[in-house]
Structure 1
């Protein structure tokens, strides 16, 4: 018989259940409680999710993507039902429900503070893309040119790239600063590679914004107004999401 463990998706002030939502591998969800907090868990097979096999599976992008999607699906359902949850890291597993409860006890203060911070608020993400001088189509090189001319041209190109990088950073800072005025909390995340974004332009801003649900319309309008004023910047807005960026548990 395989060993079994308890996979933790999220914790929150959960009073009911999540209806027909199931967890990984279609396993039923259950709530492990401590005082007013509840952790959403499901049973997993440690032949797949135990420490040693998990290390191997985390190198499998297909496996990782499916687990991440199912994890997020449960977190979203809990967020929709309760209005505030603190997601746990992907593949947080305890041997027993008693160990899950012990985790809630040790994280109690951190969890309650995180939940108080995000109640009635959602995460919105704004990404900004700017086509810099360095991305403009290059002029063809002359068939012949002296070494001095070549060095001068290369120096001019490098100077232009440095100026473009400084300008892009300034634009990103300005966009982030303006959007922060319409949010309750903000985080700047590392820009994503072009291969992940689907855009040819370089990403200059990857921002997460915690917005009161009653102010979501005002935040969307601020993004639209900013995009209209900065036609050289492509802004993308996504959300609302569970507040992943604002409920990270340092001790989880």
Structure 2
């Protein structure tokens, strides 16, 4: 039997697994293609899976990706989770067990580090205030050199502004850890994509800080989502899964 894998969870979070060594249905949670999900016990961990056929791989589309994330979110309500990447599969029971057992120390360390934690996701959009110089009255060579200098200068200014904003966000929200990316949008604005790791018990406090931040930083357009499973904070391992 081949398996499609969603995430790893703590076995102790599921009392029905305490007396069983074989996969058991995860009641009330359907996976991709409306397949029944199962709790697959291995050591102190449980892998959430559903049955996988070879021709299923060609059917993995955007809806399947949404269902993958939905299953992880449902399990996150019950346990610490380590999400698998979308489309992770195992050829059979033995390959799943071998993979988890060979990486069990790594997985357990991740679980311990992320127990009781959640991810909050901030998107911060600000105007890109780095206009270029008019090319009027310049030769082609002058325009080219000026363009190079301005591009480098704008890039440095954007990086400096993004760094200042990220520091400001860190001071306001005080996350346990963070992952930040910055890019320029097609509309000419600058977008900071921020993932914050926080304690589950502080979600309400974090949301209150967000309300204060939106009132204080009027030059920024901000969006908040979460709490989510800690996607950005799982330390990946090079030999996690076998792909069918």
The equivalences for 1:52-67 within 5 A come to 63-67=60-64
Per-residue deviation, 1:130? 1.4
Deviations 1:161-220 (A, max 9, x none): 356424422433323432462x222222x336636xxx76221x2111111121112222
Which residues of 2 match residues 80-95 of structure 1 at below 5 A? 80-82=77-79, 84-95=80-91
CA distance in 1, matches of 2:116, 2:138: 66
Paired with 1:230 and 1:73, the residues of 2 have a C-alpha distance of: 33
Distance 1:70 1:159, change over 3 A: closer
Provide the residue aligned with 1:68 in structure 2: 65
Aligned equivalents of 1:235, 1:126: Cα separation in 2: 7
The question of whether the paired residues in 1 share the 8 Å contact of 2:195 and 2:232 is answered with yes
| Local SS of the residue matching 1:208 | strand
Deviation at 1:35, TM superposition (A): 2.2
Question: Could you say what secondary structure the match of 2:30 adopts?
Answer: coil
- Secondary structure at the counterpart of residue 48 of structure 1: helix
- The residue that corresponds to 2:178 in the other structure is 186
Which residue in the other structure is 1:169 paired with? 162
TM-score, length basis structure 2:
0.78
User: 4+ residue runs of structure 1 moved beyond 6 angstroms?
Assistant: 138-142
Q: Distance in 1 between matches of 2:229 and 2:162?
A: 28
Query: Unaligned regions of 5+ residues in structure 2, if any?
Result: 17-24
Quick one: structure 1 residues 223 and 27, their matched pair in 2 at CA, closer, same or farther if it must change by over 3 Å? Answer: same
Q: Does 1:23 align with 2:46?
A: no
Counterpart of 1:211?
198
- Structure 1: which 5+ runs fail to align? 58-62
Give the Cα separation in 1 of the matches to 2:157 and 2:234.
35
User: Cα distance 1:193–1:6, how it changes in 2: closer, same or farther (>3 A)?
Assistant: farther
SS in 1 for 2:28: coil
Number of residue equivalences: 226
1:132 equivalent among 128, 131, 139: 128
CA RMSD of aligned residues (A): 3.1
- Specify the SS of the correspondent of 1:225: helix
Matched, 1:201 2:189: yes
Structure 2: distance between partners of 1:246 and 1:240: 13
CA-to-aligned-CA distance 1:119-177 (integer Å, 9 cap, x gap): 22210011222102236xx89987xx4659x85xx579658735642442243332343
Query: TM-score under structure 1 normalisation?
Result: 0.76
